[in-house]
Structure 1
Amino acid sequence: MPLMSSNLSEAHPRLEGSVILDLADARIVDVNAIVAEWLAREREILLGQVMTEFWSDHDSRVALWNAALLADREISTEVGLLTANGSVLRVGMRCERQRREGRDVVNCMLTPILSGASAEPPSDVQGATYRSMYVEATEGMYRSLPAGGFIDVNPAMARLFAADSPEQMLKVFSRDASVVYADPEEGRLLRDSLSTTGSLTGARIRIRALDGNVRMVSENARAVKDAGGALLFFEGSMTDISEHAATETALRESEALYRSLVDYCRDGVFLIQDGRLLFVNPALGEMLGYAPEELVGRAYMDLVAETDKASQTERRQSREDGSTEVQRYQIALRHVSGRTVVCQVVADAVFHQGAIASAGVIRDITDEHQQQLALRLAERRYRELFEQSPVGLYRSDESGVIVQFNARMAQILGYPDKATARAEIHNIIDLYARPEERLGIVNAVRQRGAVIDEVLSLRRRDGGLIWANLNIQRIEDADAGVQMAGSVQDITPQIEAEQKLIELATRDPLTGLPNRRQFEQQLATRLAQATANGATDYAILFLDLDGFKWINDGLGHGAGDRLLAAIAARLSQCLAGRASLARYGGDEFTVLPLQATHRAHVEALADDISAAFEQPFDIDDQVVYSGASIGIVLGHPDYRFPEQMLRDADTAMYRAKLAGKGKHVVFDEAMHAEARQRFDLQSAMRAALERNEFCIHYQPVVDLRDGRWLGCEALLRWQHPQRGLLLPGEFLQIAEDTGFITVLDTWVLSQALVEVAGWAHRSGAPPPMLNVNVDDRQLASGRLPGQVKQALAASGLPAGCLRLEVTETIFRDGTEATNQRLHALKLLGIGLVVDDFGTGYSSLDSFASSPFDAMKVDRSLVKDIDCNPRHRAIVNTIARFAEELGMELTVEGVERESQRAHLLAAGCVLAQGFLYAKALPAEAFFLRWQAQIAARPQAG
């Protein structure tokens, strides 16, 4: 049926009346002018009146209204309207229940039952109003020619047929309107009937939309004729009743099953009239402990608990006074045993044998009632927990306005109590140190429903900042709308500790400058940018202090440290805004110009650095002069890695020292000749592997407490035919530069496993733990797990006896990818060790999420631990860090008893160093290890 406009007084005033009635009491909610005109009353007077009072059929008013109430679809009937002058106007009435603006209403369309000709055409004003309603109507409306297609459709009609616009629909169906029907033949018969009878009312027929979907519609139409009775066109409307049709089918089935459903319904069903039960189903009897026949004829009030009798008396009186309102209430009824049954009742007004009665259902909600009581108790406990929580808790609306927060929240933010905080904090955004962060968090909550473990900075009442861990969840509250529920933990101490560790990992603690690893990362970034752009406008400067060893020996290491700090401060001031300065190690500094540069500019920078050393330094009230030899490397297309530039810069620096110190030298072609010599060594190294010139020495890993040998580290040596035994420092850099290091690492792994397995076989004792170094590139290749598995199988050594050592630089490619490779190795059953920890930078989080078993402290932090409090503090911190992560710790470079004492005090247990033994040839190591085993007390 047609949907009315929001104001019926503006609806089309043709011979069709429209009125909207409140479902509860049939009072007029809205009415158009034509109905007011028919009733000869002002529209404003009609609003609020009971519509049934205007029906002339007194005897059938209630029955007719009940039919309208109970219908879940459109109904049509005929009524007489009592006008103000006493006459009766017969109208056709179509009613439909609807939901509008939160209330249930009945929408009634009234059409006069005329005896003669069609109505007069509307006036211009009426026509304009009609057209507006026609366009805005939600019901599809149309006009079509008797033997042709559509000539006008409204937007709703176009939407019904899935057309983009009325124009599109008119274009498609301009020739034959009958083709809109799913069955064109059925459509032609319908239109033939319309031509013959002149009207259609509620004709049900299937249509086919442009998207191919078939819908069931209800069609109303009439034939429009001219004054002479000649047929002009058809006009009508279509309403999609597909759902209604399905509902009617279901309704017919449900009516057929009505009696069985009532009989077997788990809820109680009843009929009450004059306070007595006229019908009950078995479920209601069972609910109260009676047979159904025992309850029929009994007074309902006899079953009501004393606490609810007064309210039930009021409900009965209201019904017997004629109220047709659906009664919904909760009531306590008495079981035959005497216990109380809490019930939910829905009772509707019906007419039974000519008098009003109540029919409805009763549901036993005793369990739900108990659950609600428990819920209220839980809510009270929640409020108690909320207030007493050790974590800051709050609620706000989406705009940030504070709704609630607990005492701990006030305490975290520096307020003396919750009341003061509530008075001073109005919006959560006021707490953000960076308010713009809240928008991103709110958007994330809207998208994902929650934000977990967000770390950010909040502002306290005194203006100070704290680091907080924030968790927020979006909550939809039926009463309060959308809210944000959050928790806040003050994690300032943890963040400060992490920042301190990060600073230790990336900064030189003595000078505050970036350390070696940090500088190499900066240089790698610069190289990558230059390579991508095909540029060579970059350079580095490598500084080595002249005579620093004399200052250390003469004035002491403390004075040497203070001199390094003073030099760092002066050079930082000299290079500010022009270059990045780093302490590369010991008395070495590196410089990376920030802007594009060329040789003259870099040499001028070197001159400024040299000039900075012309003024002496005041160290411990002594005048100290210092200088630096500077090696310069200019950008070149051949450079790909930082170590290449640093190697050549180191070469140039030593040339500068040979030139008389305090000089600077630019790496040139002559020095490339030296690179050629390294190439020759590289070639010889490749041949050496084929000639079995490489061998492995083993340095023991000992227990600091008693000196016992617990394991060993495999260290590569080269027995060169001309130069004798070469240590790794003399050839490994070349191997790393050329990528040959992976070949050597694979050989060392296989050979060491075979030799250590042989020791166990010869001695009959369990093998020692074996540590083998692995290059980053070998790990990154992805082939390492297969190589390790194959080598273990070939040697027969248990996987638990092998540990692979890698450096922190493995995380340069990202933590996630690296961890995947490390976990693949762990699946083999071997151990993993991070080598040289504390000498460079890597994210501390990398270790928390990586499967390392142990870490090794670099010898640079151990060499002066007995006299350098800074290095001692770093080692202590690393020892605690390893303990917290459950990782074993080994220190390298232990050479003196004083170092051993400090390491034991720090909690270190395992060590390597000359204090115990240098790296030994395989057979020599085996004999000393075997002797130790023999000297140990035997069990039993």
Structure 2
Amino acid sequence: MKQLVHEQRLSELLVDFARTLVTDFPIQAILDRLTSRILEVLPVTGAGVMLMGSDSDLHFASASDKVLLQIEGLQVELGEGPCLEAYRTGQRVLISDMGADKRFPRFGPRAVESGVAAVFGFPMRIDGRQIGAVDLYRDKPGALSADEVAAGQILADVAAAYIVNARGRVASQEAEEEQRYRALHDPLTALPNRTLLYDRIAHALSRARREPAVPAVLCIDLDRFKVINNSLGHRAGDRLLVAVTERLQQALRPGDTLARLGGDEFVVLCDDLAEAGQALSLAGRISNELTSPFQLDDEEVVITASIGMAYAREGHETPEILLQDADTAMYRAKEQGGARYEVIDEQVRSQAQQRLGRENDLRRAIERDELRLVYQPIVSATDGKLQGMEALLRWQHPRRGLLLPADFLPLAEETGLIVPIGAWVLTQACEALQRWRHHTGAEALRLSVNMSALQLARPDFVVSVAATLHDTGTDAAQVCLEVTEHVLVDEGPEVLRTLDELKELGIGLAIDDFGTGYCSLTYLKRVPADTVKVDRTFVAGLGSDQQDTAIVTAVVNLAHSLGMTVVAEGVETPTQLARTRELGCDLVQGYHLFRPLEGADFAALVNS
């Protein structure tokens, strides 16, 4: 009868443990439950569990009372004891009289002093390894029966299986939480990302419909961050972003949300403003926080920010609209010189909508075949013979008529549309060059095409240029890519590497608008260019302005000393043409010689 009752209690305990497989019991709770229930099944006065980690350090400990919990920890502290021995060896350790046992000379006396008379250690085994051990205690000496020892080992092994299951569940939950966190936060700064920000803005807008709180959004863009990033390196740029994050957080109020949307763009959500003026105060605090220099290793960096603000209003049904307004205000601040903040107003909003319309028009211009090229001849300054041509872009807008590059290229740069447009220009120009090859002298002409900073920054740019030359059958030596001096100064070493790779293809390189970008002589020496184009603003003063004449003279002498060809742009009068010859310019182009020609007209010129 006694054996039957014992087996029934053991079965009940195992069933109770099985229920933990479908619960969210944490590991500590499972251990605590085991140590309390064991006393109902086996003739012992106390129980303890020691759970070890993969590093063999104690991760969890549980006991049926505080004294025994200390005994469990004491074994780890002393490095010996029946529970620790069972874990290490995978064998049961049965001590019926702790006072007479000599196996653990340091642990034994301390245990006896605490009232422990007998200890039975059972390894928690699974898949041929131990994850811990169960200790059963008695306050009087005496052995366990064979059935009781077997039951103790069963409990230890079953508990091991349940613990491993719980560990797997915890690991899975932690992985899910980590994945969820990564999906909603910026990896560099740990700030909320766009997804989480949109969710919080949506909640703020929803609450604003029920309460008098005024939500506001501030878009923050760091001024000149790209220059710092290029000059000091991306790692320094990342450290600066982290440091800026810490400064911005100091300026916020409790409850404000600071998010990073990417690059150097941050957003602050204030969802409980009592009045609109509080956002202005916050913008002022943010600007003040950024005034102190940042220390990046040995470099001291000073940075400012352009801030745009938008308040929730009627019509802000979605986070996208509110953010768009704040972004528009931020760009207005940048247009005003940066280091300032602007608030969206109806005039700014109207301008933004017009800009969006122009952007959409430009996006569809290629599809609608609205873009076209004209070609301005480039001739020898000495004898006027045709040497090449520059491909110039025009946009035949369906409503606004013929647009020159100044009317739409800045927008193309801002929106990134310059990349597909630039690729289209190179392809069309190369195809035109091949069509003219059968004309006398066309094979000796050199085609010049302008390149933007965004194109040069793309990692696949050189590959795409090579593919265009191959697909159109164009000889690389007949193509000259023009890069403005400003691009060389602003974009840094990455552009130089790209130019070197283009030069290796056999393509000619020209520095356009030379003299306007403060390019140092050392930097000019490193650029693999073979042509310098004197900016039209200096050519315009030839014959009337001594300073312009001196500048052009210096540019010609410098370029020739470096083995470069000099092209004078914007030659519009006989006097300017004569002076460019006298100063030694090699090639000239401008309205005095030829206006930009349609493709058919240029073909006729070559043929003549």
Name the structure with the higher helix share: 2
Rg larger for: 1
TM-score when scaled to structure 1? 0.30
- Relative to the length of structure 2, the TM-score reads 0.46
Q: Which is richer in strand?
A: 1
